[in-house]
Amino acid sequence: MKATQLLHNLGQSLWLDNITRDLLNSSTLKHYIDELSVTGLTSNPTIFDHAIKNSSAYDDAIREELGRGRTGESLFFDLALDDLTRAADLFRPIYDRTNGVDGWVSLEVSPLLAYDTSGTIKAAKELSERAGRPNLFIKIPGTKEGLPAIEESIFAGIPINVTLLFSREQYVAAASAYQRGIERRIAAGLNPQVGSVASMFISRWDAAVADKVPEALKNRLGIAVSGRIYKAYLDLLRSPRSRRTLNAGARYQRLLWASTGTKDPKASDTLYIKALATPFTVNTMPEGTLKAFADHGELGPIMPADGGDCEKVLGHFAEAGVDVDSLADQLQDEGAKSFVKSWNELMTVIASKSKALTKAA
């Protein structure tokens, strides 16, 4: 039995952190669903930037969009929704079979809205309505400005993938925003079953301190922070507040491990997959990491519910001069800026392709 199946059997959902038209047209995504236990996927501006820039698969669609007068951001979201609704339809049997627990795909609002609450709410509603699929998450960053947009979107019944979370404190704030949205639905007599995941970025922690800590601490910070977050996740799940909403018919917001591709070439290519094996969570993997785990991955022990030795390890990082709280804020800010950079590059690619295709017509 493949390691991917064993991980799925353990109780963790395996999602693909990639989407391209080639993956869909070649039936590769279907193969991953059928053979590698993939039950969902995520996307972001960087993924679409690479997909459109490095493939001719979108050229015909871009020509059609140009013929309809679409350009720039509007053209992009048409392309992205085409891909993601097709993917959502592939995952729909899983969504139906699991009663909405699994089988999700994700589309991000424009990263330019990371610090714009009202703009984010408006974009989330519009994209969700345009998609017209019950198993499509709208990704909203868990920034200070994003939190009220998350609450309002959940209250409006829009499934949300909270992205760009790094620390326990950022996770708890995002989970509280989700909880408030659900509680408002219950108070208003609305169905409280609105799907959501909270996405914790892991590998960026280790990349950020790679040259600043002793060898013995390398590639250990992301996992230690994950242990701290996992404990907070289970504490919230067991809390009276959560149980009250669950008793009213709500579904709990699942924890999602993101950025789980190993960035250090000296480390195992399945480092974070093995370490983050935890039931009732999601691990969204880059395509290379998914295939590596299927090929030679192994399951280790499940992460302890109390976080294991995470606080001891984090203490060693503090002794080495790493301020985890400050670094978490820095990583979230840098993450938002990197998505804006990818977004701008994506808009440049679309403009360049549009110009070339118009000229060749």
Nearest to 7 by CA among 226, 256, 278: 278
Specify the pLDDT at position 357. 86
Q: Which domains does the chain have, with CATH numbers?
A: 3-355 (3.20.20.70)
Angle between helices 324-360 and 59-67 (to 10 degrees): 70
Local structure of 340: helix, strand or coil: helix
Write phi, then psi, for 138 (nearest 5 degrees): -100, 125
Pairing of strands 196-201, 254-258: parallel
So what's the pLDDT on residue 361?
64
Is the pTM above the cut of 0.85? yes
Active-site residue, selected from the candidate residues 139, 212, 341, 359: 139
Per-residue pLDDT of the chain (361 residues; tens, 9 = 90+): 899 999 999 999 999 999 999 999 999 999 999 999 999 999 988 888 888 888 889 999 999 999 998 989 999 999 999 999 999 999 999 999 999 999 999 999 999 998 899 999 999 999 999 999 999 999 999 999 999 999 999 999 999 999 999 999 999 999 999 999 999 999 999 999 999 999 999 999 999 999 999 999 999 999 999 999 999 999 999 999 999 999 999 999 999 999 999 999 999 999 999 999 999 999 999 999 999 999 999 998 999 999 999 999 999 999 999 999 999 999 999 999 999 999 999 999 999 989 888 887 6
Residue 284 is predicted with a pLDDT of: 97
Q: Are 203 and 260 in contact (CB under 8 A)?
A: yes
User: Average model confidence (pLDDT) for the chain?
Assistant: 95
Name the nearest CA neighbour of 339 among 112, 160, 97, 41.
112
CB 106 within 8 A of CB 161: yes
Give yes or no: 139 in active site.
yes
Alpha helices in the chain (DSSP H): 3-10, 21-25, 28-35, 45-53, 59-67, 72-97, 117-131, 146-155, 168-187, 203-209, 221-237, 240-247, 271-275, 287-296, 310-319, 324-360
Structure tokens at 360: 């060749």
pLDDT tens track for 254-268:
999 999 999 999 999
State the Cα–Cα distance between residues 49 and 96, nearest whole angstrom. Answer: 31
- The amino acid that residue 184 corresponds to is R
Rounded Cα gap, residues 191 and 335, in angstroms: 34
The helix/strand/coil state of 142 is coil
